[in-house]
Amino acid sequence: MDILRWLYEASIPIGGYELHWLELIGVLFGLASAVGGLVRRVWAWPVGIVGNVLLFFVYITVTFDAADGRAPLFGQSGRQIFFIITSVYGWWRWNQVKKAADRPADAPAIVPRWATARERVTLLVTMVVGVLVVQQVFAVIGAGWPAPRWYFWCDAWIFVGSMLATYAMARGWNEFWLVWIAVDLVGVPLLVHSGYLPTAVLYGVYSVFVLYGFVAWVRASRTERPTPEIEDAGVARQPARG
């Protein structure tokens, strides 16, 4: 615990802000994972998990020890755990898809596609219901910390949207980039307001990066075709078509 505390407290003063090493390293791992996701490489998932672990310690430490004056983010803390769980699923699925398609080692793991109408409706309903429920949970957990109600709504939006975006990425849906855009529109202002500048900068970079990634995936979904043995870019096999 002393080592973790040292890593958390170690920082570089930049203007009036203390740039914590642990937060910076976690952010860099997150950025590397995003690049891996753009080019559809399996290694994006384990790299992202490392970043999630590091950022979890950053947010959870502030949540229970806000001595440096930064606002606690319950959603940011909790979503790192769910990121790890979802990323394990994505790691497994992309590996399975690549093996089933017998793709070369240096080839992208999946071929992206648009979600079906049913899948889109499921995403939308899950987002609405999830935000309604999660914001109430966050408000109860943070009842002893004076914060405006909108704060918990924003934190819930980021939490639920991040989970859905990660799941959609694991499924190879183009829409996952659009969900990230919706998350970034709320995430950047909230992180700046809360004093997490490196993470806010990362989200700002994502805002541009996500637009590029969305275009790249849409192009890939138009030009690339999954092998006949793979159904819906998944792991289920179907008979070859004549």
In a domain, 235, yes or no: no
Q: How confident is the model at residue 80 (pLDDT cuts 50, 70, 90)?
A: confident
Give me the number of domains the chain comprises. Answer: 1
Helical segments of the chain, H only: 2-9, 21-38, 44-64, 74-101, 117-141, 149-171, 175-194, 197-223
* Cα distance between residue 51 and residue 34, in whole Å: 11
Residue 90 domain-assigned (yes or no):
yes
Asked whether residue 52 is assigned to any structural domain, the reply reads yes
Q: State how far the Cα of 226 lies from the Cα of 113, in Å rounded to an integer.
A: 10
- Whether 75 is in a domain gets the answer yes
Residue 240 lies in a domain: no
Task: Name the 3-class secondary structure at 15.
Answer: coil
pTM above 0.95, yes or no: no
Percent of the chain whose pLDDT exceeds 70: 75
CA 96/CA 43 separation, integer angstroms: 13
In a domain, 164, yes or no: yes
The answer to whether residue 186 is domain-embedded is yes
pLDDT: which is higher, 4 or 90: 90
Domain membership of residue 86 as a residue range: 2-223
Instruction: Give mean pLDDT, residues 171-184.
Output: 92
Cβ neighbours, 10 Å, residue 36: 18
